[in-house]
Structures are given as structure tokens and as C-alpha cells.
């Protein structure tokens, strides 16, 4: 009886969900900036996946007689201090940016979803402990926590990813816990519990499903910040190490040539700007489409 | 109001204790022998033993934490390993420069951001609104260190209007402060626009307009005052962003502040100095947020009544 009642509830709910998805997609498509963001992110993905085929040169190949070559001619975006093709390095740099941001989102989400659900669902001392720990992590100014983690663990792609992920986790914990607390008091969760659903089923099927739009929007906007933080750490020499082509690192090495060859530092910076802009536009568009209350207001 | 003040102060204490714990933990996380790493491979065993003893690394972690909290409470942040000077003296030399930079950037963010957001909200379909919205998206997406370099190329190299880096005169402050402020200007402008738009849709604004109150007064007395809380929260949070951003800006402009000191200390593996500097940043951020919380109580009496 309980199963059939639950099935009926789900059957009734299904068309509503689908209609909601359709209207959200329609709303998203009407937003030109959001579509532009999606196009930039798609381009970034294509560049990262197809780097070996798209890059005109080997990103590590040096040509000292062509060092600091200006944009145009053989090198479309010029060459760096070792005569390496900047365009190829920018294309390969998209891999580092995407790997670090995707994995750090995964770190932030797994920490955030687990701890946020535990805090919101269990309450009591678990909640107090998790939330106080979150407050402590949020007390570190932007970048400082990531710098502290990387300074302790050492530079490199893995540690940078971990540092950026830990930096992003507290906000996810807060968002998820808040959503769990709200969902816990709703009638449909009470109904599911009354129908005999286990805590895990209620959490995954009803609570997390409701948190999903918020988490998707946050993850997209976090990707933008993750790219910025990775680039910042690499710029400081604390993130990705040479000769791996990272945009932040490229800006950092080009800094010494600012007077004679400004393109060496400025072009990789433009790549960061475009990638971050893409994720910001996409995140804004998703938020407007998934949360109609905020549409066109921010 | 007094209860509210005491309550907020009490709430800040566990956060500060936690911050000290995390800062202490950073040295624990160092893979391998932290002391050998700090002193380098040519250090004598006596020097290693002496530093190990000084840092108390042989004691249990909880004991070290309690001792560290005690020392920090007395204002003793340890001695810089590279400079062999008290960390507090090292920090005292550089913090005024960081304060000058962040306050200047915060002022730019507050004035330009609030003004741009306000104009956007009052004329929401104007050309200015469109330009400001697109501009703020770019402002949020630009990496601070890159903006700094572009500004150096344009204003220092091409136009020769401003110095490339360093500190000392107001001209030296312009480029670093503008660079640091740009993302915050964008954030504050977006928040001001949305908050003021919210308030302008409220019934009491319609009533004020119906009564014939001048639009200037509606905006300044009703809209801005009521939109102040979210804007103030954001400015408090931006103070943290600015302190983090200062690490990058100071590196780009060779600004002699705390941020540049942290980066130098990390490369010199002077972890005691890194700990001290990160701690000072975090405590400053907690205190700024506390001040913002207290300001709520003044701006909105409902907040202090709720405690």
C-alpha cells in the first residue's frame, strides 16, 4: 500500500518537474548573455579536450631565435620569453584551468553535501560542530585559506585543487544545511516519512533534489572563482609549476617582459578573463532560469 | 543594544580560537620534517633541535595549541626564522601599508559601486544601466593581478602618468588601489542595484510617491537607507576579499605590505612568519565582520532587538 501510494505521488509529481525543466530551459535560451556564457564554456571544453589537435605547435617547443615574437606571422598570438607559441600554450592552459576547477568543485561539493546534509539532518551537536568549523573557515579572507593550505602542502596541481576545494566547501555546507533544514519541515518530506521512506531515501530523493538547482548554480559560479584562484596561486608561484602551461603562471613569467613585450603577459590574462566571464554568465543565466524570484534583478 | 554587543563579542571568541587552531594546523600539514624544511639541508643538528624545542614539536598537539593560544593572547607570535626578529615587529612594519591600500580600495568600492548601482536602479532600462551591468560582469571576471599589469602598461609605460610600483606618495597609491577595488566596485554595484530595485517596489515607496514626496528624497531617504543592510554586509565581506586581493596587488606593484610579506615568507619557508601574518589577516577579518554586525544594530533597530 505504502509503495503504491508513493508511486502515485511520484507519478503525479513527474509531469510538474518536466514542465518546470522545459520552462527553465526556455527561459535560459531567451537570455542572450547566458547563451553566450554557454558558448564560451563549450569552446573552453573543446579547447581542453582537443588541445593536441587544435594547438598549432608543441606548447613546450622552444625557439630562442623567435623569443618574444610579436603576434601575427608564424605565431598568431606571438611567442614567449623562450620562443614558445603563446596560442598553443593558451589552448593547453585551458586543460589546467578546467581540471583544477572541475576537481575543486568536486572536492567542495563532496565535503559540502556530506557535512551540510549531516548538520541539517542530524542537528544537535553534529550541527553545532559542523557550523562552528564552517564559520572558522569562512573567517579567512578570500585567497588566504588557499594560500595557507598550499604553503603547507607545497605547490602543484593536486595541492592547488585541494586548496581551492577546501576554500569553496564552507559556502556549500551552509547552502545545503539551510536547504535541508527548510526541506525537513515541509509537508512532502513528512508525507514521505509517514509512508515509511528511510532517512537516506528522504535525503536523496526529496531533499537533495530540491537543493540541486541551487547547487548547480553555485557550482557554475564557483568554477569561475576556482579558475581565478588557481590562476592567482600560479601567478604567485604557489600553484601549478613550470613547464606546465597554466594561464596564471604565463602572466607571471610575462611580467618581467611587460615593457618590451606586453603581449606575453596580457594574452594569457585575457584567456582567464574570457573563461571566468563564460562561467559567470552561465551561472547567472542558470540562476535566473532555475530561480524565477531572482530573474533579471542581479 | 548592550546585550546585542556582548552576544556578538562572545560569538566571535570561538571563531577566533578556531582560526588560531587552523593557522597552527598549517605547520602540522607540512609533509616530512617541518623543521628541517624551514632551516634547509645544511642546518646543524643542534640548530634543528633548538628550533624543534622552540616550536614545541615534541609535545602533544593539544598542549601546543593551548600554549600557542596563550602566547597569541599575550601578543607573542614567535620569532621570524629568516629575520630573527619578533614576528609582531615584522608585521608592525608592514601593516600600515596594507591598511592604507585596503581602506583606499574599500572607499573606491563603496563610493563608485553604490553610485553606479543607485543610478542603474533608478534608471533600470537606460544605456548607463546596460553599460554598468556589462562592466560589472567584466569587473568580476578580471583577475586582479592581470588588471594591475594592464594598468601599468597603459598608465605607467604608455602614458607615463603614474609610477610603475613602490610606495610613498599619493600617486603611488592610485594604480594599486584602483586595481584592488575593481572587482569590489562590480560586486557592490550589482548588490546596490538589486537591493534598491527591491525597495523601490515596496508599498511604502509607492505611498511616499503618492504623497508627492520628491523622487530625490524617495531614493535617498527610503530606498538607500533600507537597502543599506545588504550593501553593508557586502562591504564587510569585501574587506576580506580586498585583504586577500592585497596579496596579489602588493606583489604586482611591489607595495611593501602584509600580502607581499606573506609571499616572501612562504618562499623563504619562514612558517612562523606566515602563521603570524595569516592570523593577523584572519583576526582583522573577524573584527571587521563584528563591526559590520554591530553597525546593523545601529542601522536597523530590529536587529539589535532580536539580539
Give the pTM. Answer: 0.86
Distance CA B166, CA B182 (A): 20
Residues of A in Cβ contact (< 8 Å) with B18? 132-133, 135-136, 139
Residue B301 has pLDDT above 50, yes or no: yes
Distance CA B197, CA B124 (A): 8
Computed over every residue of chain B, the mean pLDDT equals 85
**Torsion-angle region of A62 (φ positive above 0: left; ψ -120 to 50: alpha; else: beta):** beta
> How far from each other are the two terminal CA atoms of chain B, in whole angstroms?
8
pLDDT band of residue A10 (cuts 50, 70, 90) is very low
The full DSSP string for A198-245 is -HHHIIIIIIHHHHHHHHHHHHHHHHHHHHHHHHHHHHHTSSSPTTS-
- Average confidence (pLDDT) over A248-273: 91
- Average confidence (pLDDT) over B82-93: 88
> How far is residue B247 from each of residues A164, A248, B145, B150, B156, measured CA to CA in Å?
16, 15, 10, 18, 21
Helix (H) or strand (E) holding B258: helix B258-267
Which residue reads 564552517 in cell numbers?
A: A134
pLDDT of res. A148: 84
Distance of residue A26 Cα from the nearest chain B Cα, in angstroms: 23
Tens digit of each residue's pLDDT (9 = 90 or more) over A104-123: 999 999 999 999 988 988 88
Distance of residue A295 Cα from the nearest chain B Cα, in angstroms: 11
Which of B140, B143, B152 lies closest to A269 in CB terms?
Answer: B143
Nearest CA to A229 among A141, A298, A109?
A141
Residues of A in Cβ contact (< 8 Å) with B197? 297
Does any CB of chain A come closer than 8 Å to the CB of residue B157? yes
Of the residues B65, B99, B101, B141, the best mutation for testing chain A's interface (the one with the most A CB atoms within 10 Å of its CB) is B141
> How far from each other are the two terminal CA atoms of chain A, in whole angstroms?
47
Highest mean pLDDT among A146-150, A176-180, A270-274: A270-274
pLDDT of res. B203: 86
Tens digit of each residue's pLDDT (9 = 90 or more) over B14-31: 888 888 888 888 777 776
Distance CA B15, CA B17 (A): 5
Contact B247 A269 (CB under 8 A): no
Nearest CA to B248 among A267, A238, A154, A140?
A238
Write out residues 267-306 of B within 8 Å (CB-CB) of A. Answer: 267, 271, 274, 278, 281-282, 285-286, 289
Does any CB of chain A come closer than 8 Å to the CB of residue B154? no
Distance CA A182, CA A201 (A): 17
Does any CB of chain A come closer than 8 Å to the CB of residue B100? no
pLDDT of res. B112: 95
Residues of A in Cβ contact (< 8 Å) with B282? 139-141, 144
Q: Which residues fall within 8 angstroms of residue A71, CB to CB, at 6 or more apart?
A: A77, A78, A86, A263, A267
Residues of A in Cβ contact (< 8 Å) with B151? none
**Torsion-angle region of B176 (φ positive above 0: left; ψ -120 to 50: alpha; else: beta):** alpha
Which of A153, A277, A284 lies closest to B29 in CB terms?
Answer: A153
Write out residues 196-255 of B within 8 Å (CB-CB) of A. Answer: 197-198, 239-241, 243-245, 247-248, 251-252
SS3 of A259, please? coil
Residues of B in Cβ contact (< 8 Å) with A280? 137, 140-141
Strand partners, A75: A72
Distance CA B307, CA B304 (A): 5
Highest mean pLDDT among A54-63, A108-117, A142-151: A108-117
Which of B28, B143, B153 lies closest to A228 in CB terms?
Answer: B143
Distance CA B265, CA A246 (A): 23
pLDDT of res. A293: 56
Distance CA A286, CA A24 (A): 8
Residues of A in Cβ contact (< 8 Å) with B149? 251, 255, 258, 262, 265-266, 269
pLDDT band of residue B303 (cuts 50, 70, 90) is low
Distance CA A14, CA A20 (A): 10
- Average confidence (pLDDT) over A139-153: 83
C-alpha cell at B178: 584602483
C-alpha cell at B19: 582560526
Which of B138, B146, B150 lies closest to A277 in CB terms?
Answer: B138
Alpha helices in A81-186 (DSSP H): 86-122, 124-138, 144-153, 157-184
Contact A147 B30 (CB under 8 A): no
Write out residues 101-140 of B within 8 Å (CB-CB) of A. Answer: 137-138, 140
Which residue reads 593558451 in cell numbers?
A: A90
Strand partners, B86: B79
Does any CB of chain A come closer than 8 Å to the CB of residue B151? no
Phi, psi torsion values for A101, nearest 5 degrees: -70, -40
Q: Which residues fall within 8 angstroms of residue B233, CB to CB, at 6 or more apart?
A: B292
Which of B28, B248, B281 lies closest to A232 in CB terms?
Answer: B248
Q: Determine the Cα angle at B280 with ends B278 and B283, to 5°.
A: 105
C-alpha cell at B60: 602533544
Determine the distance from the C-alpha atom of residue A194 to the mean position of all C-alpha atoms in its chain, rounded to a whole number: 38
C-alpha cell at A254: 610575462
Residue A9 has pLDDT above 50, yes or no: no
Please, what is the angle between helix A86-122 and helix A157-184, to 10°?
40
Of the residues A44, A152, A166, A269, the best mutation for testing chain B's interface (the one with the most B CB atoms within 10 Å of its CB) is A152
ipTM, two decimals, is: 0.85
Strand partners, A72: A75
Which of B16, B244, B263 lies closest to A142 in CB terms?
Answer: B244
> How far is residue B227 from each of residues A72, A123, A293, measured CA to CA in Å?
50, 33, 18
Distance CA A249, CA A233 (A): 9
Contact A149 B282 (CB under 8 A): no
Computed over every residue of chain A, the mean pLDDT equals 83
Residues of A in Cβ contact (< 8 Å) with B293? none
- Average confidence (pLDDT) over B227-245: 81
Residues of A in Cβ contact (< 8 Å) with B146? 251, 265-266, 269, 272-273
Which of A145, A154, A269 lies closest to B31 in CB terms?
Answer: A154
- Average confidence (pLDDT) over B232-238: 81
The full DSSP string for B53-112 is HHHTTTS-HHHHHHHHHHHHHTT---B-TTT-SBHHHHHHHHHHHHHHHHHHHHHHHHHH
Residue B136 near residue B186, CB atoms below 8 Å = yes
Does any CB of chain A come closer than 8 Å to the CB of residue B145? yes
Half-sphere exposure of B57 (CA within 13 A, CB side): 19
Write out residues 27-86 of B within 8 Å (CB-CB) of A. Answer: 27-31
pLDDT band of residue A20 (cuts 50, 70, 90) is low
Q: Which residue has the higher pLDDT, A234 or A73?
A: A234
Amino acid at each position: 500500500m505504502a509503495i503504491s501510494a508513493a508511486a502515485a505521488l511520484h507519478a503525479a509529481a513527474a509531469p510538474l518537474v518536466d514542465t518546470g525543466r522545459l520552462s527553465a530551459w526556455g527561459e535560459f535560451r531567451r537570455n542572450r548573455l547566458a547563451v553566450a556564457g554557454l558558448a564560451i564554456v563549450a569552446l573552453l571544453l573543446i579547447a581542453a579536450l582537443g588541445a593536441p589537435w587544435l594547438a598549432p605547435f608543441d606548447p613546450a617547443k622552444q625557439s630562442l631565435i623567435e623569443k618574444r615574437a610579436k603576434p601575427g606571422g608564424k605565431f598568431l598570438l606571438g611567442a614567449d620569453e623562450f620562443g614558445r607559441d603563446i596560442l598553443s600554450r593558451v589552448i593547453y592552459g585551458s586543460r589546467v584551468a578546467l581540471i583544477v576547477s572541475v576537481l575543486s568543485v568536486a572536492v567542495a561539493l563532496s565535503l559540502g553535501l556530506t557535512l551540510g546534509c549531516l548538520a541539517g539532518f542530524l542537528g544537535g551537536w553534529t550541527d553545532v560542530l559542523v557550523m562552528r568549523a564552517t564559520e572558522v573557515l569562512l573567517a579567512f579572507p578570500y585567497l588566504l585559506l588557499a594560500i595557507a593550505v598550499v604553503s603547507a602542502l607545497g605547490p602543484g596541481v593536486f595541492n592547488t585543487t585541494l586548496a581551492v576545494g577546501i576554500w569553496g566547501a564552507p559556502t556549500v555546507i551552509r547552502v545545503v544545511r539551510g536547504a535541508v533544514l527548510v526541506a525537513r519541515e515541509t509537508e512532502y518530506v513528512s508525507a514521505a516519512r509517514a509512508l515509511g521512506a528511510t532517512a537516506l531515501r528522504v535525503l536523496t530523493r526529496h531533499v537533495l533534489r530540491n537543493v540541486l538547482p541551487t547547487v548547480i548554480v553555485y557550482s557554475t559560479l564557483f568554477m569561475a572563482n576556482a579558475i581565478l584562484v588557481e590562476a592567482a596561486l600560479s601567478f604567485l608561484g604557489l600553484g601549478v609549476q613550470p613547464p606546465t602551461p597554466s594561464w596564471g603562471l604565463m602572466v607571471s613569467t610575462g611580467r618581467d617582459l611587460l615593457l618590451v613585450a606586453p603581449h606575453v603577459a596580457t594574452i594569457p590574462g585575457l584567456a582567464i578573463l574570457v573563461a571566468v566571464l563564460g562561467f559567470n554568465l552561465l551561472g547567472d543565466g542558470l540562476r535566473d532560469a532555475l530561480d524565477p524570484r531572482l530573474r533579471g534583478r542581479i | 543594544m548592550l546585550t546585542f554587543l556582548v552576544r556578538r563579542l562572545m560569538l566571535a571568541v570561538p571563531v577566533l580560537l578556531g582560526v588560531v587552531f587552523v593557522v597552527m594546523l598549517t605547520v602540522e600539514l607540512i609533509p616530512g620534517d617541518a623543521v628541517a624544511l624551514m632551516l634547509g639541508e645544511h642546518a646543524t643538528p643542534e640548530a634543528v633541535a633548538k628550533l624543534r624545542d622552540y616550536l614545541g614539536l615534541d609535545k602533544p598537539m593539544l598542549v601546543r595549541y593551548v600554549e600557542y593560544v596563550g602566547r597569541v593572547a599575550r601578543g607573542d607570535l614567535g620569532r621570524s626564522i629568516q629575520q630573527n626578529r619578533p614576528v609582531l615587529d615584522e608585521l608592525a612594519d608592514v601593516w600600515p601599508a596594507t591598511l592604507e591600500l585596503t581602506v583606499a580600495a574599500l572607499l573606491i568600492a563603496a563610493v563608485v559601486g553604490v553610485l553606479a548601482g543607485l543610478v542603474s536602479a533608478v534608471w533600470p532600462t537606460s544605456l548607463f544601466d546596460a553599460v554598468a551591468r556589462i562592466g560589472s560582469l567584466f569587473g568580476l571576471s578580471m583577475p586582479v593581478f592581470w588588471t594591475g599589469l594592464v594598468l601599468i602598461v597603459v598608465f605607467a609605460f604608455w602614458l607615463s602618468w603614474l609610477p610603475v610600483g613602490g610606495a610613498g606618495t599619493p600617486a603611488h597609491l592610485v594604480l594599486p588601489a584602483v586595481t584592488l577595488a575593481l572587482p569590489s566596485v562590480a560586486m557592490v554595484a550589482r548588490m546596490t542595484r538589486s537591493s534598491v530595485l527591491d525597495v523601490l517596489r515596496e508599498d511604502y515607496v509607492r505611498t511616499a510617491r503618492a504623497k508627492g514626496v520628491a523622487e530625490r528624497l524617495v531614493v535617498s531617504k527610503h530606498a538607500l537607507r533600507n537597502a543599506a543592510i545588504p550593501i553593508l554586509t557586502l562591504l564587510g565581506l569585501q574587506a576580506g576579499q580586498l585583504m586577500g586581493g592585497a596579496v596579489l596587488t602588493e606583489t604586482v606593484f611591489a607595495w611593501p605590505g602584509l600580502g607581499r610579506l606573506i609571499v616572501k615568507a612562504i618562499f623563504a619557508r619562514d612558517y612562523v612568519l606566515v602563521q603570524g601574518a595569516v592570523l593577523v589577516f584572519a583576526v582583522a577579518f573577524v573584527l571587521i565582520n563584528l563591526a559590520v554586525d554591530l553597525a546593523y544594530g545601529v542601522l536597523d533597530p530590529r536587529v539589535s532587538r532580536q539580539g
